[in-house]
Structure 1
Amino acid sequence: MPDTAAWERHLEGVPRLVGLPVEREAGPDGGPDGREIPGGPYSAAELVAGLAALLHRYSGESPLLVGLADGQAPGRLTVLRLTVDAARPFAELRDAVPDLTDAARQLGAVTPQRLRELRGFGADPQRPCHAAVVTADTDTDTDTGTDTGTGTAGAELTAVAGRDGRWYLVADATIPGGDVERIAGHLARLLAAGAAPGAPSLARLSLLDGEEEARILHGWNDTARPVPDEQFPAAIARIAAEAPERVAVVSGARSLTYGRLDQDANRLAQHLAGLGVGRGDRVGVFFERSPESLLSQLAVFRLAATAVLLDPEYPGERLEFMVEDSAAAAVLTREGLSGRLGTPPCPVVAVDGDAWRDAPAVDPGAEVHDEEVCHVAYTSGSTGKPKAVQLRHGPLRNTAHVLREQCGLSAGVRGTWLCSPGFGLVQVDCFPILLAGGTVHIPEPSVAASPEQLRDWLVEQRISQSLVLTAMAERLWTLPWPDDTELRCMRIAGERVRTWPGPRLPFHVLNVYGSAEATVVATCDLTELGSGSGAGAGGRMPPIGRPVYNVRTYVLDANHQPVPPGVLGELYISGASLSRGYLNRPEADDEKFLANDVPGDPYPVLYRSGDVARYWSDGTVEIIGRTDNEVKIRGYRVHLGEVEGALAEQPGVRQCAVLAREDVPGERRLVAYIEPDRAAPPRVAAVQAALRERLPGYMVPSAFVVGDLETTPNGKIDRAALPPPPRTRPDLFTEYRAPATPAERDVARIWADTLELDEVGVDDDFFELGGDSLRVMRMLAGLRTELGVNLRMSQLVRTPTVAALVGLLPGAAPAGRPEPRHDPQARYEPFAVTAAPGVRYAEWHQEWLDPDRLVEAWQRLVAQQDALRLTFDADGGQRVVPAQDAPPGAPPVLDLSGLDDAAVASRLDGVRAELLATSFDGAGPPYRMRLTLLPDEVLAVHLAVDARASDDRGLDEVLPRLLADRYEDLDLPAPELTVRDVLTASGRAPAAAPPAGDPPPCTGHHHRLDAGMSPALLEAAGARGVDPRWLVTVLAADACGSGARVLIPLDEVPEAAHDVLGALEEDRLVAVPEPGDSSPADRAAELRDAAARGDAPGDGGPVLAVRVVSEHDPEREGWDAPVFRANALSGVPLDLTLRPGGDAPHLTWTYQPAVLSPERVAGIDAAVCAGLAAFTGELAGA
């Protein structure tokens, strides 16, 4: 059997999955596909290191597992663990392989299936190794590398040595042959470059050959095209001369022709010139969406000045900052808005007034150039003060002509202006319509804010082209549209698109990707792509497409190296779309606008977008998210975009967002925000249930907020404005039923306080209301504090409603009240050991626990409980190590969440056996903890404690209660009373019996009795007035033989030590009454009385220890009963734990093989089971 602990260390931190940059397909019938690895010859060590290095370059993951099949263990893999440091040379990794191989062989070779079990994959088809290497001395036929047995069973990528002396890369059948060949080429280039003298670090080795690199850097960026030289001001003048009566802008009943627009812009420009405004000056344009805004912007351009876009929706303080920060030479606005600017240090011109109308309608003649700034647009400022982006005339010219061509814009087109007047997106929204000689229609703000009204307005106004912000567009797609609508193209921009447009929409959807810093970068016809390739159905997110004319895009790694298709990197942009950078923010420029180091790129500046992206195989770019959208919930990493994507697909969800909120310090949870489809709103309970079917439990939001989602003035979902979940009761399938009795009202009030709700119905499910593990512990603490009762988490899981829980209150145990006292002077002085050595082991299975939170709670507990910092010397002394000198480390974590029940049981048995069989050396710490992730979000907590540091009471009652309390509240104070205080006051003598010394290794034996036995046993014991503990002890003693003695802890711990862990109970040997005419029940009562009197134990008989751990113990607080409990104590060759919980009792025997044989223990077990059956049968027959 593999060394479980060693394998846990070997597998610790290893990623479950490393994605390959491939586009999978259904595998051919011929099985795995193989391609020759160019170059060589290669050694197995080079291939092992090379595969690990390549996978690290693809994924960034480390450590990685590479299986080696070398003929020394047929059908098995030697599993190497390789930690890849991309900052080091490849040669260091390659040279470490021999030592890593030796270390792996110490673990022993395993079959792929066994490795799957060790990794906890269960029924998951995921291969257990990240890669494998099969050498020539295996039995496989490797002439072509297409049939490799163990290797391909162990990994999706396997390097195979052929009999022809060449190496082949064999891949899973779902990976296309072209991708296999491409990966083989990457591997060969990495190996060759890494072996070269003076090779750079692994991170800087190029994976791409010249052809692939040229295709990525230049072929996919072959975008250079000539566009007309005409700038926007000149184009408006030309159209005005050609068709002066053509309508340029319509807003309600007002309209403005091109001729009037041109003349008024000249007059306003002349007026501004009279105020001293000239080339390069900045002028505030402070309007709602309106003809006056477009007129004002054109007037500013006619002076070669810059329009600073100001939105009336902005707060006054923000507006004042913008005017001051931009050093505006003047502000253009209307009379009703000027008062919101405070007292600006520049002239304010009311465009709806008459002061400028007598100026000459003559163009000032200030021709504009590509590099000059046309707009200053301020970003949202979510990370501090807003930043001003300086948009140039060159990108405006390029963008307008690109969209004219892609969208078919021409004279007479009916377009819209829907984006915020303070948003740089105005260059993509209405300006291309004007450059084409079309008409810009502006709706009322209330219309633009309502999906239904906006749809109706677009239809009624016969709009043919419109740019809609993503948040609104995804709402519009859910609405029905008339087939005869004149809308032909809906451009979307502003945010990442999360859903595909429906196939029945009567217009095309063009995704326009860009930003204020980079205007328009790429476009993608989502309608054509989605319907033509089924991309949406394939689970891929809508891409941004390919770069537009005169723009180049690159997906680069952290070292600015181009990544292969399918590999994640960061999106960088160069070309004609870039702005001049930020106004007055040189540090931001240095961070985002970089010197262009891409070879062959003619543009000097490279913009760092901050978007995580990857190429598709045809060069299409897909945005995955941002680098800052990953959060941690209950110990699990969650990508919010993945949750939002699943939520967006639910029927009735028009728009959504997901946040990780921490409204209560230390309690982070996912909150979903849903804007419903008004025609068919979703039931939150149905959405929650659907997400539970699709996502792991930790990714399902705990709370849902339904309502309209606020947007920023720029039209994006305003995540900073999303409110905390309301205190109203959520939408549930369960009808509300009010509490009726005092007990129901008390419990419902505690629930409501815990869940931050105004009311809770007595039939509401705690977890459907948003409860999680932390809130469970807070609620149980509330019951204990306010009602004086102790309930366990398992009871809540079984009865998660107020009505059901109230039924448990009459039987709940009263809460204890410790009275701490402390002698601080003697705390760290040595004192006598009063207990014999040994190992006490407990294992709890708890649902919904956050492993990180539990570890932190454990570390707090170790710092507070002196018994967990004890050291023991050979002379029978012990002392407490100060907390600052013994900081606890994090326990190992084993992931078995994907295994089937049989495999989980086998792995758990291995952990138990190892922890019980390993004695403590006394040097500290006096405990060993392990954590195991089990299926269904259950966490197994394994704890072995030195018997000199804790008695059974400490392990069964004190420790789980204190740990549960600190899990709920990390800041609970330490008890003032310490283990030394209690033991010193007790006057206990040093340990003498049973004999001192480490216990021999122990072995376990488990037996589950017949179904129905537990209720029968408890009923029979209750009817006879017998504690099952004493009854089982008598039966076990009888099976052991005459003169048996039992080790019994005396319940003499003072109430003041309620919260103190330690070996505080005094164990006493008691002789078990000999069989005679008395029944087992009568002898159990005799044994109980003998223990209370302290009768002499007698001599020479076998010694055993017995405990009963019941799920229904009313005295237990905090966690549920342990699922496994055993001791291995010095001088106690046989230990029995009976768990009568559930339907069938469990017997767990721990014994010393040197004293008792397995057959002997099996006989004792059979005798006890027969005695229990007879005892319960007596009651049934009575």
Structure 2
Amino acid sequence: MTATENRAEHPDAELRDASAPREVFVSALLQAVPADWTDLAVAVTAAYQHRMTAAHDLVLAVDSGPVRLTVEPTTTVAGLVAQVRDLRGRAGESAQPGDDAPPVSAQVFLADDAAPVEGLAFAFAHREGVLWAEAKGDPGRFTHEHLAEHTSRIGHFAERLFGAGPAAEVGEVDLLTPAEHHRIMHEWNATAHEVPQLTLPELVEANVAAHPDRLAISHYDERLTYAELDRRANRIARLLIGRGAGAGDIVAMVLPRSIDYVVTALAIVKTGAAYLPVDTGYPVERINQVLSDAGVSHTVTIAALSDSVLVAAEQIVLDQESTRTRLAAADPSAPADTDRRAPLTPDAPAYVLYTSGSTGRPKGVVVAHRAITNRLHHMQHQIPLGPDDRLLQKTPAGFDVTVREVFWPLLAGASIVVADPDGHRDPAYLAETIVAENITITHFVPSGLKVFLQEPDAAKCVSLRRVVCGGEALPAELQAWFASVLEADLYNVYGPTEAAVDVTSMLCPRNPEPGPVLIGRPVWNTWLYVLDEQRRMLPPGVTGELYLAGVQLAEGYLGRPELTAERFISDPFGEPGARMYRSGDAARWRADGVIEFFGRLDHQVKIRGFRVELEEIESVLLRDGQLSQAVCLVREDVPGDQRLVAYLVPVTGTDPDIDKLRAQAVAALPDYMVPTAFVVLDQLPLTSNEKLDRKALPKPEAQVTPVGREPSTPEELLVAGLFAELLGVSSVGAEQDFVELGGNSLLISRLINEIHKRSGVRLRIKKILEDPSVQAIAALITA
């Protein structure tokens, strides 16, 4: 067996030998371009550092002095070598990098240079047409293993780059060593696992058959066994089928969180249609924008919400007497394929969820049964639920976690406890419910978990065995705080709506180390790639864009083929026809195969776990012609206090009506997308390249003029002082409204905690939201 064959079969052997520089044959290239070997050494170092750091403006420390080079992905070998020769050939001040130059990226040692190493360096040697490169580094910053990896990687990279010839482009050459490629593709992404090819109804019906009398779902005194749940869902499904619902349709659920919500979700997928959950807390305009865009065939709702549904779709009102009569007479047996319009298969769409859209309108994501059932099976493998487990279903309908909350317990034979419709906003209610209902598992977004841990009664939730956290970055400090309050296991999950809820998962350590946010490893039948701008793999430790592939990818965006083609692209690393999804998130592999997460690469943000495209908010503000420009930004001027700020440039010669603009946003957008502050500017700040300079947008000044009478009672003075403290304003009137002044549900939770600390009175968020004025909240304290 030759050395080459042995390395291919055992690629890690290459890293074991990595301290030995790799031979790179450069005779042919030296004959093709006017250069000597030292020029090639500097050129390949520049190309390597460009690929490793994504920097285009590089300074290298060479024997003749610092050299400043411009490297683009399209830069050719010949072009880069010519640039190096020109700069090294110029002597004196004209060759200096300039005051605006970036820091030195690396040192380049040629032949017998013996300069001290500062940071990272590459030492080159040349003999008879063969080039060697060895990485050296400051021992305080680079381990022997890191330097060995650099040595192996730059050797392979140089071999490929120079072997491709003078016209080869820097961005088109693979950067990884064979050993790194093997680890990423065949070890860290070794996720293939056989999963039953079943639909959501089949998974639930298996438990109905096995445990018909086991408790499936409850809400206070209302309780349904698996058999009762199934019969109720079957009746609704048959009513929908009788009214024409089936394969190819989307049936909307405009329902508050309730047992009916869970039953209806199961009923819709039994028809063969996909279900579309709609958050009833959305403005009527937003609800109907989603329903219209989806082209729903039917809506299922209740009488109290039926007037909010304005689209021309057949409507089923569950609590109407006529509907109750039809359901009572319906066949309670499960619909079969002979009852449905077409056979129900794992490839059929299961649900549609809408997320914020950068074009000014939300976009629907279509997810098939095989995608979500894969996630549920892996979840059950990693966090097994059993008959004694009780999951608290509390996530808002517009968040894809609701899909997991509904179907995971029913797949596992566990039970669901349904929280009150606004219960997720109230940490005191959640703690009380967890204790009273013996909840063993629930989900939080990190911002919500932070508020919950501030609740004094959170420590009493000893029945909790597992908490799943996702939707936002989960920092180590919050993990440690959780561990100090609760004995439960904490799991961090990551994934966009476009990939069936979550694609990575990990059990958080009780004593996490500070540093980047860790999101774990890929779940079953899912692959992760960290790629550069040319969609080529990056090695461990190098940050790039995270791409997702595998069975959990969504079908695409409903009715948006161009957007689907832009985000769901061909997977060059998978089987023919495979796709991958551009997440837009920055990430990197750790040396042990865990993914580190660094947030967004664009201006998309997460607010309370919900994805927000800021352009959608801006388009709403620009509607009525008051403004020439609008820019939105999430600021965190006080640690832990995220504020959505709108920067407005009015039409020349006008003063914008801020109250009208706020009302416009409230009428069109979910509450988490309504700006809490509006800043009027004469013009937006620009960079030297005439692009928006977001860093130069000013901090909003808290200018609130007290309205109405002044606070007078001790309770009003307490509440008014807390308004000022939490909202960063000087003073407020007794009649002023916390929400209108910029408060949100997370700040209301903090307000409740502060009132409790200072008065001993525990208020409920539901009561505060009914009238969030100083005088009304003060009256609640008095009562």
* Distance in 2 between residues matched to 1:169 and 1:452, nearest whole Å: 57
Report the Cα distance in structure 2 between the residues aligned to 1:660 and 1:347, rounded to whole angstroms: 38
CA distance in 2, matches of 1:509, 1:720: 31
Structural mapping, 1:744-763, within 5 Å: none
**Of 75, 78, 81, which residue of structure 1 is paired with 2:68?**
81
Return the alpha-carbon distance in structure 1 between the equivalents of residues 351 and 87 of structure 2: 60
Is 1:93 equivalent to 2:61 in the alignment? Answer: no
| SS of equivalent to 1:357 | helix
Give, in whole Å, the separation in 2 of the partners of 1:40 and 1:272.
Answer: 69
Q: Does 1:156 align with 2:156?
A: no
Structure 1 pair 104–494 and aligned structure 2 pair: CA distance change class (3 A): farther
Counterpart check, 1:257 vs 2:225: yes
**1:52-67 equivalent positions in 2, closer than 5 A:** 52-67=46-61
**Aligned match of 2:401:** 425
1:720 and 1:36 map into 2 onto residues whose CA distance is: 59
CA 1:352 to 1:252, structure 2 compared with 1: closer, same or farther past 3 Å? farther
Question: Which consecutive residues of structure 1, in runs of 5 or more, have no partner in the other structure?
Answer: 1-33, 70-76, 110-114, 122-126, 141-147, 632-639, 649-654, 667-709, 731-755, 761-1182
| Partner in structure 2 of residue 722 of structure 1 | 676
- Tell me if structure 1 keeps the 8 A contact 2:553–2:581: yes
1:362 corresponds to = 333
Deviations 1:9-44 (A, max 9, x none): xxxxxxxxxxxxxxxxxxxxxxxxx94431136722
Q: How far does residue 604 in structure 1 lie from its aligned partner after superposition?
A: 1.5
- For this pair of structures, how many residues does the alignment match? 604
- Counterpart-to-counterpart distance in 1, 2:386 and 2:576: 32
Contact 1:119 1:128 in 2 (8 A): no
Alignment of 1:97-176 (within 5 A): 97-106=84-93, 129-138=104-113, 140=114, 148-149=115-116, 152-153=117-118, 155-161=119-125, 167-173=133-139, 174-176=141-143
Q: Distance in 1 between matches of 2:219 and 2:534?
A: 51
- Aligned: 1:188 with 2:159: no
Equivalent position of 2:381 in the other structure: 405
Q: Which structure has the higher relative contact order (CA within 8 Å, separation 6+)?
A: 2
**Residue pairs, 1:960-999, within 5 angstroms:** none
Say which of 575, 588, 596 aligns to 2:571. 596
What is the deviation of 1:521? 3.9
User: C-alpha displacement at 1:189, in angstroms?
Assistant: 2.1
Which of 239, 245, 250 is matched with 2:207 structurally?
A: 239
Per-residue deviation, residues 830-864 of structure 1 (Å, max 9, x unmatched): xxxxxxxxxxxxxxxxxxxxxxxxxxxxxxxxxxx
Deviation of the 1:448 alpha carbon:
1.6
Query: For the residues of structure 2 that align with 1:85 and 1:379, how far apart are their CA atoms?
Result: 35
| Alpha-carbon spacing, 1:40–1:235, altered in 2? closer, same or farther (3 Å) | closer
Partner residue in 1 for 2:495: 514
Shift of residue 558 of structure 1? 1.7
1:288–1:312 Cα contact (<8 Å) kept = yes
Tell me, yes or no, if structure 1 residue 562 matches structure 2 residue 537: yes
Q: Tell me the amino acid that sits aligned with residue 508 of structure 1.
A: D
Return the offset for 1:290: 1.0
SS of the residue corresponding to residue 533 of structure 2 reads coil
1:344 aligns with one of 312, 317, 320: 312
Decide whether the 8 Å contact of 2:541 with 2:591 is kept in 1: yes
Change in Cα spacing, 1:621 to 1:238, as seen in structure 2 (3 Å) is same
Report whether the alignment pairs 1:493 with 2:457. Answer: no
Q: Separation in 1 of the partners of 2:211 and 2:238? A: 23
**1:40 partner letter:** V
- Contact between 1:568 and 1:614, CA under 8 Å: does it hold in 2? yes
Moved more, 385-394 or 237-246: 237-246
User: Which AA in structure 2 matches 1:98?
Assistant: R
Q: CA deviation at 1:232?
A: 2.1
Structure-1 separation of matches of 2:380 and 2:565: 34
- CA 475–363 in structure 1, closer or farther in 2 if over 3 Å, else same: same
Does the alignment pair 1:460 with 2:451?
no
RMSD: 3.4
Superposed CA offset, 1:349-368 (max 9, x none) = 42564132211112220353
Please report how far the alpha carbon of residue 317 of structure 1 lies from its aligned counterpart in structure 2 after TM superposition: 2.2
Of 588, 601, 607, 1:614 maps to 588
Equivalent of 2:562 in 583, 587, 590: 587
Aligned pairs for 1:21-32 (under 5 A) are none
Cα distance, 1:491 vs structure 2: 0.7
Instruction: Check if 1:40 corresponds to 2:24.
Output: yes
1:907-946 pair list within 5 angstroms: none
Q: 1:318 to 1:483 in 2, by over 3 A?
A: closer
Distance 2:230 2:528 in 1: 37
SS of 1:313's equivalent in the other structure is coil
1:104, 1:425 → 2: CA distance? 63
Cα distance in 2 between the residues matched to 1:137 and 1:279: 73
Residues 298-697 of structure 1: pairs in structure 2 closer than 5 A: 298-342=266-310, 344-350=312-318, 353=321, 354=324, 355-366=326-337, 368-381=344-357, 383-479=359-455, 481-482=458-459, 485-499=462-476, 500-502=478-480, 503-504=483-484, 505-525=486-506, 527-528=508-509, 531=511, 534-536=512-514, 539-540=515-516, 542-598=517-573, 600-601=574-575, 604-629=578-603, 648=639, 655-657=640-642, 662-663=647-648
Name the SS for the 2:251 alignment partner. Answer: strand
Which structure has the greater CA radius of gyration? 1
- 2:77–2:162 Cα contact (<8 Å) kept: yes
Write the deviation string for residues 719-773 of structure 1: whole angstroms up to 9, x where unpaired.
Answer: 543324464589xxxxxxxxxxxxxxxxxxxxxxxxx98799xxxxxxxxxxxxx
Contact 1:483-1:506 within 8 A present in 2 as well? no
- Counterparts in 2 of 1:622 and 1:244: CA distance versus 1, 3 Å: same
Q: 1:422, CA displacement in angstroms?
A: 3.3
Query: Secondary structure in 2 aligned to 1:133?
Result: strand
| Contact kept in structure 1, 2:24 and 2:131, CA below 8 Å | no
Cα deviation, 1:278-316, whole Å, max 9, x if unaligned, reads 223221211111111111121112221111222211222
Deviation for aligned residue 1:210? 2.1
Superposed displacement of residue 590, structure 1: 1.1
Pair 1:421–1:352, CA change in 2 (3 A): farther
CA 1:490–1:226 in structure 2 vs 1: closer, same or farther (change >3 Å)? same
Q: Which amino acid aligns with 1:187?
A: I
Q: Which amino acid aligns with 1:494?
A: G
Q: Cα–Cα, structure 1 residues 286 and 630, in superposed 2: closer, same or farther, change >3 Å? A: closer
TM-score after normalising by structure 1 = 0.48
**Distance in 2 between the 1:603 and 1:342 partners?**
41
Residue equivalent to 2:11: none
Shift of 1:165: 8.9
Residues 758 and 362 of structure 1: is their aligned pair in 2 closer, same or farther, counting only changes over 3 Å? closer
Task: Give the corresponding residue for 2:770.
Answer: none
Separation of aligned partners in 1, 2:702 and 2:414 = 51
- Ranges in structure 2 where 5+ consecutive residues have no aligned partner: 1-17, 27-36, 338-342, 606-632, 652-665, 679-699, 706-727, 733-783
Letter in 2 for 1:487: L
How many percent identity over aligned positions? 29
1:477/1:525 CA distance change after superposition, 3 Å: farther
CA contact (8 A) 2:286 2:669 kept: no
* Aligned with 2:62 (options 37, 58, 68): 68
The answer (yes or no) to whether the contact 2:406–2:416 under 8 Å persists in 1 is: yes
- State the TM-score, normalizing by the size of structure 2: 0.71
Residue pair 2:278, 2:287 contacting (<8 A) in 1 also:
yes
Q: String of CA shifts for 1:555-611, please: whole Å, max 9, x gaps.
A: 11122111111222111111111111111111111111112222x447722111111
Q: CA deviation at 1:457?
A: 2.2
**8 A Cα contact 2:543 2:587, kept in partner:** yes
- Distance of 1:358 and 1:183 partners within structure 2: 73
The answer as to whether partners of 2:120 and 2:135 remain within 8 angstroms in 1 is: no
Please report how far the alpha carbon of residue 435 of structure 1 lies from its aligned counterpart in structure 2 after TM superposition. 1.0
Contact 1:392 1:580 in 2 (8 A): yes
Change (3 A) 1:53 1:358: same
Deviation at 1:68, TM superposition (A): 1.6
Instruction: Please say if residues 465 and 487 of structure 2, whose CA atoms lie closer than 8 Å, have aligned partners that are also in contact.
Output: yes
